């Protein structure tokens, strides 16, 4: 009988190459989608959403130009491998898109889909006690790439804010008290240090920070995750009148001082996280636009013109040709420095 011991490694190599090809295609499609999104003005008001936002008590800004675009992306073949992971933030994206489809067009199927998605998130979460505080936590069990081994499960401040926002909307639509209770409890981890299972830490200047990747001793203070959590917390505060959410929001907004925001500014792009290396990375091209949009939303909520000045500054970075050229050059330099990682994994 022929020796087929060689076949296993060959098949494994082919599988690895196929997985790398699929991942590469996904990254290209994601980049193309990001380019479509950032073609819009990040500081402009959302004309279809703002009037309804005031009536319903929400201020979410993650809305594509066309309702349904997010659902289409999440269900596209290019996203299939990512969708299989059932990342809670994807489920939140889906819920918010369904919510807007109902709000804007009265689509009852979208309403039912939103409530079902909110129920899915409710079922996925856990009621736990952290530092003697009852919380509703969405547990994450994955090892995050680029970080040393960390405790699992772990909580994500951005997801905590977003599930709070989804539950607040679900309560507004259904009157189901389970959603209101879960929305309030979802904010609890913002008051619990990451060493005790929460998402609360302090960034490098000492200000309170709600961590997207809440790993003790490894916090990088990811800015978009922090501001996304604030927008979700505000939805809970405004939609439900929750005092704990109001407190968490006020404390978090106070962090966005000129001193702190300057640590994320390199003169031509904003930075994804607080790092000693001020050079732009491929993340900066998209997240500079996201940061401007988030700051503009927070400026509308708080009435603070200083936040709007920062939003306009980073809007200029994301749209002005000289800044975009510098960012592009820095990004290609980053890719060149990290070529072995791209090639060999």
- Encode pLDDT of 239-293 as tens digits: 899 999 999 999 999 999 999 999 999 999 999 999 888 999 988 989 999 999 9
Average pLDDT, the chain: 86
pLDDT at 36 over 70: yes
Candidates 262, 266, 260, 291; CA nearest to 280 is: 266
pLDDT at 96 over 80: yes
C-beta atoms surrounding 331 within 10 Å: 18
Mean pLDDT for 90-109 is: 86
Q: Are strands 208-210 and 200-202 parallel, antiparallel or unpaired?
A: antiparallel
Candidates 132, 141, 140, 145; CA nearest to 158 is: 140
Res 63: pLDDT:
47
Least confidently predicted of 60-74, 179-193, 284-298: 60-74
Res 207: pLDDT:
98
- Encode pLDDT of 42-71 as tens digits: 887 654 555 555 555 554 444 445 567 777
pTM of the full predicted structure?
Answer: 0.88
Contact 115, 173 (CB under 8 A): yes
Instruction: Tell me the helix, strand and coil percentages in the chain, rounded to 5.
Output: 65, 5, 30
- The residue among 317 and 78 whose pLDDT is bigger is 317
Residues 6 or more apart whose CB falls under 8 angstroms from that of 149 comprise 143
E-state strands within 187-278 = 200-202, 208-210
DSSP tally for the chain: helices H, then strands E: 15, 4
pLDDT at 206 over 60: yes
Res 3: pLDDT:
60
- The residue among 26 and 299 whose pLDDT is bigger is 299
Res 307: pLDDT:
96
């Amino acid at each position: 009988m022929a020796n087929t011991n060689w076949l296993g490694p060959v098949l494994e190599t082919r599988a690895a190459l196929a997985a790398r090809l699929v991942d590469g295609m996904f990254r290209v499609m994601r980049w193309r989608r990001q380019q479509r999104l950032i073609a819009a003005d990040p500081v402009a008001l959302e004309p279809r959403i703002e009037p309804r936002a005031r009536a319903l008590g929400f201020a979410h800004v993650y809305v594509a130009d066309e309702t349904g675009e997010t659902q289409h992306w999440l269900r596209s073949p290019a996203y299939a491998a990512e969708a299989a992971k059932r990342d809670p933030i994807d489920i939140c994206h889906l819920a918010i898109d369904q919510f807007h489809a109902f709000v804007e067009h009265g689509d009852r199927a979208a309403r039912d889909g939103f409530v079902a998605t909110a129920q899915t998130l409710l079922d996925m979460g856990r009621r736990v006690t952290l530092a003697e505080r009852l919380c509703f936590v969405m547990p994450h069990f994955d090892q995050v790439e680029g970080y040393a081994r960390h405790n699992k499960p772990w909580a994500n401040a951005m997801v905590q804010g977003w599930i709070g926002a989804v539950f607040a909307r679900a309560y507004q639509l259904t009157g189901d008290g389970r959603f209101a209770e879960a929305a309030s409890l979802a904010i609890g981890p913002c008051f619990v240090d990451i060493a005790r299972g929460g998402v609360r830490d302090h960034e490098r200047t000492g200000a309170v920070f709600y961590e997207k990747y809440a790993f003790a001793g490894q916090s990088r203070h990811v800015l978009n995750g922090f501001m996304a959590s604030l927008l979700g917390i505000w939805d809970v505060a405004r939609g439900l009148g929750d005092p704990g959410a109001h407190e968490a929001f006020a404390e978090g907004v106070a962090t966005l001082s000129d001193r702190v925001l300057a640590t994320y500014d390199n003169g031509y792009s904003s930075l994804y996280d607080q790092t000693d290396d001020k050079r732009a990375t491929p993340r900066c091209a998209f997240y500079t636009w996201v940061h401007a949009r988030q700051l503009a939303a927070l400026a509308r909520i708080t009435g603070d013109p200083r936040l709007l000045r920062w939003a306009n500054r980073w809007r200029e970075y994301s749209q002005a040709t000289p800044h975009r050229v510098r960012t592009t050059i820095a990004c290609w330099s980053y890719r060149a420095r990290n070529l072995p990682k791209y090639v060999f994994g």
